[in-house]
Amino acid sequence: MNKKVQVQDLGLKDYKETWDYQEALFKEIVDLKIRNRREAAGLATPNHFLFVEHPHVYTLGKSGDIDNLLVDEAVLAEKGATFYKINRGGDITYHGPGQIVGYPILDLDNFFTDIHKYLRFLEEMVILTLAEYGLKGQRSEGETGVWLDVGTPFARKICAMGVRASRWVTMHGFALNVNADLGYFDLMIPCGIKDKAVTSLNTELGKTTIAMEEVKQKLLKHFEALFEAELIKQKTMA
């Protein structure tokens, strides 16, 4: 099993361009697994972890309801935002500047073949990171992601998740609000869940901005421990 994970920070990158890049990495791993099975080649499959920030964009998962986007594309254009229907699970999600988006593209055969465990590990990575800032991140039963004050009228989501997996290879991932403009969430029903608010790390801490790089390093530290991975930093994508 290859537990080495190549980490790239793509900076601010267009959603579609990043999606295409994810798909290329995903296909490379799947094709190699097919070759291994067909030819008994025994070649090690790679693993990747991408960090990125996106310009304002709304994405709708394959099981999502378009009615959860509350405005039309003309209004989105006025807000400088785009919209895509995509091939992950989950409903509608917003990405934008000030949000850390993470895309682990892993061959789970290198770790464990359990998609529910995978999602719980991603949630735990975020929960442990929030704890370092004095916040109690929690799971909400039946709702993937990380929340604050679950079970109270003040429940609010700080990290959304949605993944795709095929042949135990993952793509898509999580979006943690760090310095996010929460006004953009008003244009949708986040993840199709009504009557629950969305928050951001800087809002919770009463600060204007939180150092994004610091949060990324904490996330990677906990990812490395949970997955027992060996992280290898790569140069950014050209």
Active site residues: 191
Backbone angles phi, psi at 237, to 5 degrees: -70, 140
SS (H, E, C) 95-158: ECCCEEEEEEECEHHHCCCCHHHHHHHHHHHHHHHHHCCCCCCEEECCEEEEEECCCCCCCEEE
The burial of 79, by beta-carbon neighbours within 10 Å (0-12 exposed, 13-18 middle, 19 or more buried), is given as: middle
Please check whether residue 126 is in contact with residue 119, taking contact to mean a CB–CB distance below 8 angstroms.
Answer: no
Calpha distance 66→45 (Å, rounded): 36
Residues in the chain: 238
* Beta-bridge partners for 72: none
Helix (H) or strand (E) holding 52: strand 48-53
The burial of 63, by beta-carbon neighbours within 10 Å (0-12 exposed, 13-18 middle, 19 or more buried), is given as: exposed
Calpha distance 168→170 (Å, rounded): 6
